[in-house]
Amino acid sequence: MINPKLEKAINEQINAELYSAYLYLSMGAYFEEKGLAGFANWMRVQFEEEQFHGLKFFGYLAERGGRVLLDAIDKPETEWDSPIAVFTEVVKHEAHVTSLINNLIDISIEERDHATKSFLNWFIDEQVEEEAAAADILNQLKLVEGDGRGLLMLDRELATRVFTPPVA
């Protein structure tokens, strides 16, 4: 049986992951409207990853005998000034998610819940990848600022991204 403090925190994380999915779907809609289908694809894949993360927490909490309590998901932003503004927000958002995961690790250590700490290690590694990928795209966008050809090349590259669920 999972500790009530961790149960509450994991339920909050499920909500945060589903909000992340919703945010990335909104960003994908922004890119679709701008005619940047590759960027939209990247965001849809990110949407799928965040849903996967939320379901991973959902399954873990249920497996540990906890009760999953879904809460309302906040409305995401829908407008940005530019692709750079979008990816600046992505980098900021991923750093926020990392802080949430780190907080969960801290609680699992405080509560001496080694199973949850072990489970969360996967998310720690995942967040390193998430932050690096977003920062790389932001840096590339800054390099091509003002050059439509560079933006279109990056759009084509981002169109190749696919969601592949991690193997357990």
What's the alpha-carbon Rg for the chain, to the nearest Å? 17
| Tally of domains in the chain | 1
SS3 content of the chain, % helix, strand, coil (to 5): 75, 0, 25
Q: Does the residue 110 lie in any domain? A: yes
Predicted TM-score of the model (pTM): 0.94
Q: Does the residue 70 lie in any domain? A: yes
Q: Does the residue 165 lie in any domain? A: no
Q: Does the residue 92 lie in any domain? A: yes
CATH of the domain at 75: 1.20.1260.10
Q: Which two tokens stand for residue 82?
A: 């530019």
pLDDT tens by residue, the chain, 168 residues: 899 999 999 999 999 999 999 999 999 999 999 999 999 999 999 999 999 999 999 999 999 999 999 999 999 999 999 999 999 999 999 999 999 999 999 999 999 999 999 999 999 999 999 999 999 999 999 999 878 899 999 999 999 999 998 876
Q: Does the residue 75 lie in any domain? A: yes
Q: Are 48 and 92 in contact (CB under 8 A)?
A: no
Selection from 51, 50, 130, 34 nearest residue 91 by Cα: 130
Q: Does the residue 74 lie in any domain? A: yes
CB atoms within 10 A of CB 38: 19
CA distances from 54 to 59, 109, 122, 145 (A): 9, 21, 13, 34
pLDDT at 166: 81
CB atoms within 10 A of CB 143: 10
Q: Does the residue 65 lie in any domain? A: yes
- The range of the structural domain enclosing residue 73 comes to 4-158
Q: Does the residue 122 lie in any domain? A: yes
Cα separation of 31 and 12, whole Å?
29
Q: Could you tell me which residues come within 8 angstroms of residue 20 by beta carbon, excluding any fewer than 6 positions away?
A: 50, 53, 93, 97
